[in-house]
Amino acid sequence: MATIEEALEIERLERDIFRGASTKTQLPRTFGGQVAGQALVSAVRTVDPRYQVHSLHGYFLRPGNPSQPTVYLVERIRDGRSFCTRRVTGVQDGEAIFTMSASFHVGDAGPVHQDEMPTVPPPHDLPDAQTTLAPERLWAMREWEHWDIRTVPPERVYRRDGQASQQQVWFRYRHPLPDDPLFHVCTLAYMSDMTLLGSSKVNHPDEPTQNASLDHAMWFLRPFRADEWLLYDQNSPSAGFGRALTGGRIFNERGELVAAVVQEGLIRTPRDA
């Protein structure tokens, strides 16, 4: 299957117009993480290198066709001394399938604090998902064969009082990646859409649902590498009316909080044909 370099590949067609590659996939629609990652790469290509991505907010508007490339239209909303902002629209067949705002910051000095990383088993004590998934789920590991994903067993998840639904996942890219920090940010944007909506199904494992990402927001807090272990500490504080709110904090192995994610997703009961 596609490497992350292939999945995030874009071609510049005009000053602010880009075309993302379509890659081999088993999915019936374009993976949301790939659309978000390619949109972010497009925005990065229009920003001075001294600015770093600090946040993005995206909406998945229509399912993408994975056999077709997506064209990304970038709008230069603002270029300031400390911050700059871009808006990106992903288009297929003349219709918007995704829209995203991304903000960039040069970085400043200021107060520092962060939450503590939860106490969880280290990734090396957990089995690779490729060796533990049921046969009917092995297609997922073929789709993302370049990722090492290790889910913390429910009985070993660090539980916080009052939280309705929790899930914890270690992950990393299996192969060395370029040193460019922005490439790691775009790689994490790709990966952040994976497994997160599953935190809303922890309490409903046998209930059939139609699932899809609706919107996605990320904040990049500290430098990190996506080819080193990252803990995705996930929760779903609410589900109802066919939608679920989910969130995640991403820590590196040193306990540094490197990113935060919030997503609302569709988890509705399948409609009768």
pLDDT in tens, 183-222: 999 999 999 999 999 999 999 988 999 999 999 999 999 9
What integer pLDDT is reported at residue 129 of this predicted model?
A: 78
How large is the average pLDDT for residues 23-35? 91
- pLDDT over 80 at 133, yes or no: no
- pLDDT over 70 at 136, yes or no: no
Strand partners, 217: 57, 262
DSSP string covering 137-188 = GHHHHHHTTTEEEEEPPGGGS---TT-S-EEEEEEEESS---S-HHHHHHHH
CA–CA distance from 272 to each of 204, 210, 214, 268 (Å)? 20, 12, 21, 12
Mean pLDDT of the chain: 94
pLDDT tens digits, one per residue of 78-129: 999 999 999 999 999 999 999 999 999 999 999 999 999 999 999 999 988 7
- pLDDT over 90 at 50, yes or no: yes
Helix axes 32-44, 181-191, angle to 10 degrees: 160
What integer pLDDT is reported at residue 273 of this predicted model?
A: 43
DSSP at 197: G
Residues annotated as part of the active site: 193, 213, 263
Rg (CA), the chain: 18
pLDDT tens digits, one per residue of 239-271: 999 999 999 999 999 999 999 999 999 999 988
User: Are the C-beta atoms of residues 86 and 74 closer than 8 Å to each other?
Assistant: yes
